[in-house]
Amino acid sequence: MLEFYRDYVADAPEELGLFPAFQIAPPLPFIDEADHGKTFCAIVSCWSGPLDKGEQALEPIRKVAPTVAELVTPMPYPAINSAFDPLLPPGLQHYWKASFASELTDGAIQAHLEHGPDVPVVNSTVHIYPINGACHRVSSGATAFAYRDASFATVIAGMWPDAADNEKNTEWVKGYYDALRPHSASGGYVNFMADDDQGRVQDNYKDNYGRLTGIKKRYDPENLFHLNQNIQPAP
């Protein structure tokens, strides 16, 4: 599935958004009850072009591996944008890691196969987003976002309800991230990072970091807004 995704997304129509995920099957009506609680590789897709061409774009996905469950139907954008919300109630424990990559290498795929199936609870997941299309048509120095030359953004989203599981589940996230590190860039997407990733902030913005510290000095010289992946004001 991951090898297919790597190849298919490289020249897929821009109207097609898709990404693979490791996910424990929640108790949803379109999933057979016998499969609730099992871990699967899911493909989350969105076709934003003419409906009559959507089935054609999605059909290759169905041929890659046996389909355990499927929900494909026209829906408004807010529906797909909020599809995972019921899995993320307030009060969960959170520990996330993120990385960019220019390729989804065979080594990275092996790391995903080793750690992805161990996703600990139904709230946790791993997504491998594509970076392509319009994003690549903008210079990496044109905005704060520096990784416009990357092709994939992985997020290991550790979320669980019981604080007693913090050590065990945090170690799952860390081990997964460490296994991917040799196949990844030094930076990652800032919205997907934990408090202990402050040392990666400059890597996240690459050559744009110096310009951003100057902007921070102008608008927030005392660093009032610091509870984030923090950009320090320039000296």
Residue 189 is predicted with a pLDDT of 96
Q: What is the pTM of this model?
A: 0.94
CA-wise closest residue to 118 among 161, 156, 65: 156
Question: What's the order of all strands across the beta sheet hosting 16-24?
Answer: 39-47, 16-24, 125-130, 152-160, 93-101
- Segment 38-96, tens digit of pLDDT: 999 999 999 999 998 999 999 999 999 999 999 999 999 999 899 999 999 999 999 99
- pLDDT cut 90: percent of the chain above it: 97
Domains of the chain: 2-193 (3.40.462.20)
Q: Please, which pLDDT band fits residue 198 given cuts at 50, 70 and 90? A: very high
- Measured CA to CA in angstroms, residue 12 lies from 7, 60, 138, 163 at distances of 9, 11, 19, 41
Give residue-wise pLDDT tens across range 103-154: 999 999 999 999 999 999 999 999 999 999 999 999 999 999 999 999 999 9
Each residue's pLDDT tens digit, 141-159: 999 999 999 999 999 999 9
pLDDT of residue 47: 95
Around 1, how many Cα atoms within 13 Å sit in the side-chain half-sphere? 19
